[in-house]
Amino acid sequence: MKFGVCVFPGSNCDYDTYYVIRDLLNQEVVFLDHETRRIDGLDCVVLPGGFSFGDYLRAGALASRTPLAHAVVDFAHRGGLVLGICNGFQILTELHLLPGALLKNAHLRFVCKDVYLRVENNSIPFTRSYEKGEVIRLPIAHGEGRYYVPEDELRRMEENGQIILRYCDADGNVTEEANPNGSVGNIAGVCNREGNVFGLMPHPERACEDLLGYHDGIILWHSIVNV
């Protein structure tokens, strides 16, 4: 497979993502500059974590108005796989490729820790190597990760299987205590109706090697490659 990693001014997980794809997955990967106008010849585009354009105005707002962001929309509409991690997730909601919005954490603190997540749907290309209902552990690091979507839209998303990951405890129970940011329904990751666009607040690229104490993240990357 051939991957592209988007680079906006302020992206800071671009090299981590590039490293995982090239060195751990052994796949082809290129960086995509924020002025890129057309995406061709790629199978999967990743919007990495960071603070694009300093998160001025709102997280992801300025990045979502760049030529590259428009090219990502076009790529997604042509059926390409698009993965947004953290700031990338925020950009995807600003682009309306994913429903909802990401707001300041309910407790107003930047949160940087490990969380447990329940895989609610493993039928999309990004999660098929997990078991449905499996509990995984990934790190989070964000100040604006409170997922919000109006109630009627949330119901539609649940019916369509668009809720992919929920914050939970170690046993897989979705509790208020396990919710690190006040997200509606403990939601940590959602996809579009077609399942080719996926956004999540946790960082799977930081959980790919035992050296770092993690390996649950690499399964997500394997899912993409094993489509």
Residues that bind other proteins (CB under 8 A): 57-58, 61, 65, 94, 100-101, 103-108, 146, 148, 150, 182
Least separation in angstroms between residue 26's CB and other proteins is 39
The question of whether 86 is a catalytic residue gets the answer yes
Are 47 and 84 within 8 A, CB to CB? Answer: yes
Instruction: Tell me the closest approach of the beta carbon of residue 17 to other proteins, in angstroms.
Output: 26
Q: Is 205 a catalytic residue?
A: yes
Q: What are the CA-CA distances from residue 227 to residues 3, 54, 152, 193 (Å)?
A: 14, 34, 32, 18
Burial code of 131-164, b = ≥16 C-beta within 10 A, e = fewer? eeebbbbbbbbbbbbbbebeeeebeebeeeebbb
Cβ nearer to other proteins, comparing 22 with 104? 104
Catalytic residue among 94, 120, 144, 205: 205
CB nearer to other proteins: pick between 31 and 148:
148
Question: C-beta of 104: minimal distance to other proteins in Å?
Answer: 5
- CB-nearer residue toward other proteins: 78 or 96: 96
- Structure tokens belonging to residue 17: 């993502």
Nearest CA-CA partner of 93 in 67, 125, 50, 60: 60
Please pick, among 86, 168, 191, 208, the residue that the annotation labels catalytic. 86
Query: Which token pair is 118?
Result: 């329940």
Partners of 194 in the beta sheet? none
CB of 82 to other proteins, least distance (A): 20
| Residues contacting residue 185 through CB under 8 Å, at least 6 positions apart | 147, 154, 163, 166, 174
* CB distance 198 to 104 below 8 Å: no
Residue number with CB closer to other proteins (151 or 177): 151
Q: Which is nearer to other proteins, 62 or 207 (CB)?
A: 62
**Could you tell me the smallest distance in angstroms from the CB atom of residue 86 to other proteins?**
18
162: Cβ–Cβ under 8 A, 6 or more apart, which residues?
99, 121, 190, 191, 192, 193
Bridge partners (DSSP) listed for residue 168: 116
Active site residues: 86, 203, 205
